[in-house]
Amino acid sequence: MQANPVEMKRIAEGLPTISAKIRALDAAGFMRADIARFLGKRYQHVRNVLVRGRPKSEATQFQGSIRDEPGDVESQKIRILADGRMVIPAKMRSAMLIDEGGYLTARVVEGELRVLTPKAAVFRLQRRLREQVPEGVSVVDELIAERRTEARREGGK
């Protein structure tokens, strides 16, 4: 991804540490050299942060700041190790909203491995529900009205 200072600032804004900013910018696809220039750090500092991995204390805080809805990433080759494991690249994990240590649901459809995160499943369900609700209708208001009607009926008996 080409360096875009405005986008880089948006991604890094509000993150508590330089390391968290480096990781977020890397997950968004920016090159290490561009991250170093943007943050005013040496390339080696950026590389060390990314190679060493994220401290456990930062894991939950960092994940939510990158992105709040699923995204898209171009296809990539992923190597399958001898024991059947595969490593999902950081850009893909970020786009999938994968939490560190979390779970995925996987299935095979016509030879294609489909992997779904709980967060992505919720977004998919929300999108389907939004498509079913007519324009200008508040599902919340309708639910409250139904509950009040039921409460009146039960109170009157």
pLDDT digits (tens, 9 = 90+) for 22-35: 988 988 889 999 99
Percent of the chain scoring above 70 in pLDDT: 87
Question: Could you tell me the pTM of the whole model?
Answer: 0.42
Kindly state the average pLDDT of the residues 39-55: 86
The model's confidence at residue 1, banded by pLDDT at 50, 70 and 90, is low
User: CB within 8 A of 5, min separation 6: which ones?
Assistant: 38
To 10 degrees, what angle do helices 18-27 and 5-12 make? 120
State what percent of residues in the chain have pLDDT above 90: 24
Tens of pLDDT, residues 74-118: 888 888 888 888 888 888 888 888 877 778 899 999 999 888 888
Instruction: Judge contact between 42 and 36, C-beta under 8 A.
Output: yes
- Would you mind telling me the total number of residues written for the chain in this entry? 157
Secondary-structure percent of the chain, ordered helix, strand, coil, rounded to 5? 55, 10, 35
101 in Cβ contact with 59 (< 8 Å): yes
Residue 131 to residue 129: CA distance in whole angstroms: 5
In this prediction, residue 68 carries a pLDDT of: 65
pLDDT value of position 55: 56
- pLDDT confidence of residue 42: 94
**pLDDT, position 67:** 52
Are 73 and 98 within 8 A, CB to CB?
no
Bigger pLDDT: 132 or 71?
Answer: 132
The pLDDT, as a whole number, for residue 110 is 94
- Across the strands, what pairs with 105? 116
Q: Confidence band (pLDDT; 50, 70, 90) for 61?
A: very low
